[in-house]
Amino acid sequence: MLGSNGQIGTVLSEKLVEKFGIENVVCSDVREPKIKHSHYFEIIDVLDKTKISDIIQGFKITQIYHLAALLSAKGEQNPELTWKINMQGLLNVLDLAVQHKINKVFFPSSIAIYGPTTPKSHTPQYASFQPTTIYGISKIAGEMWCEYYHNKFGLDVRSIRYPGVIGWQSLPEGGTTDYAVEIFHAAIHTGHYNCFLAENTRLPMIYMDDAIRATLELMDAAPEKIKTRVGYNLVGMSFTPKEIYLSIKERIPEFTIEYKPDFRQKIAESWTETIDDSCARDEWGWKVNYNLSRMCDDMLRQLKK
């Protein structure tokens, strides 16, 4: 796995170790993990194609989960670097995957591919996608590259358009949907949250358990079921900052919030509110488990531990 220190990588690497055994998973990131674990770990910069190639050969890698990327908010601070890491990193992976006959590649796409021309509610699998962030542009281009490698070289590459992911196990960094994780930590630690999005900004979100299960189910699905080689639309839930605040407040009555929208508001407004994921449901049987209320119960229970 590339990018195993990130919000999703931290949890997905645990699950892959559980599934395949500790001796069969190589985690990697550009820096040492902040929290030490016993998984096999390598420092890999995704721009270092030779190192990736050496690791593939040295460990006889058969599947690649390519999670390394700069996200929507952080990406805007350095568009050129974001493009380089997100695009060249993916191209290195796709090229090496063909060269080394890798069985399967996973590429995470995002709701950041949606833009002002995309239908805002029940966003279909295929629509007008003109993202406004460099992260979104890199993800839509990445999806097209994945489809291209599948069509041209038969590479089995699979992808999900993750909504904002919310989990207690790890903290997100540099995203626009990060508020929905931070709010739980604030509720428990200080009892107050300054939210960087406006109260009625509705965005698609998903609980980490569902996001990880979706990833593993997609990767386990028989190849003939996978008819979509761009990212799959995926529904978890949709809510506004006010709705998640009220849901937490029901459980922690003294919790307070202030809304102080910053530059991320504009990014959030360019995305859509709800998604149609019938393609994922029909092709590989996706089904969501967590709604807002169930997620709040679990997040608070886990974080209080």
Would you name the residues annotated as active-site residues?
135
- The alpha-helical segments, DSSP class H, found in 30-178 are 49-58, 72-77, 79-83, 89-99, 134-153
Q: Is 177 in the site for ligand AKB (CB under 6 A)?
A: yes
Q: Is 71 in the site for ligand AKB (CB under 6 A)?
A: yes
Cβ within 8 Å of residue 102, ≥6 positions away: 56, 61, 62, 63, 64, 96, 155
Closest residue to ligand AKB in the complex (CB): 175
> Do 47 and 92 contact (CB within 8 A), yes or no?
yes
What's the closest the beta carbon of residue 255 comes to ligand AKB, in angstroms? Answer: 23
3-state secondary structure of 264: helix
Exposed, middle or buried by CB within 10 Å (0-12, 13-18, 19+), for 42?
middle
Among 164, 167, 231, 241, binds ligand AKB (CB under 6 A): 164
Among 28, 92, 110, 123, binds ligand AKB (CB under 6 A): 110
What's the closest the beta carbon of residue 272 comes to ligand AKB, in angstroms? Answer: 11
Q: Is 175 in the site for ligand AKB (CB under 6 A)?
A: yes
Amino acid at 270: S
Q: Is 111 in the site for ligand AKB (CB under 6 A)?
A: yes
Question: How far out from the chain centre does Cα 228 lie?
Answer: 18
Among 72, 118, 159, 170, binds ligand AKB (CB under 6 A): 72
Residue 162 or 193: which CB sits closer to ligand AKB? 162
What's the closest the beta carbon of residue 191 comes to ligand AKB, in angstroms? Answer: 25
What's the closest the beta carbon of residue 179 comes to ligand AKB, in angstroms? Answer: 9
DSSP per-residue letters across 159-213: EEEE-EEE-SSS---S-STTHHHHHHHHHHHTSEEEESS-TT--EEEEEHHHHHH
d(CA 136, CA 142): 10
Among 17, 67, 87, 112, binds ligand AKB (CB under 6 A): 112
What's the closest the beta carbon of residue 154 comes to ligand AKB, in angstroms? Answer: 28
> What token pair was written down for 38?
């016993």
* Stretch 224-243 residues interacting with ligand AKB (CB under 6 A): none
* Stretch 29-68 residues interacting with ligand AKB (CB under 6 A): none
Interacting residues with ligand AKB (CB under 6 A): 71-72, 110-112, 135, 162, 164, 175-177
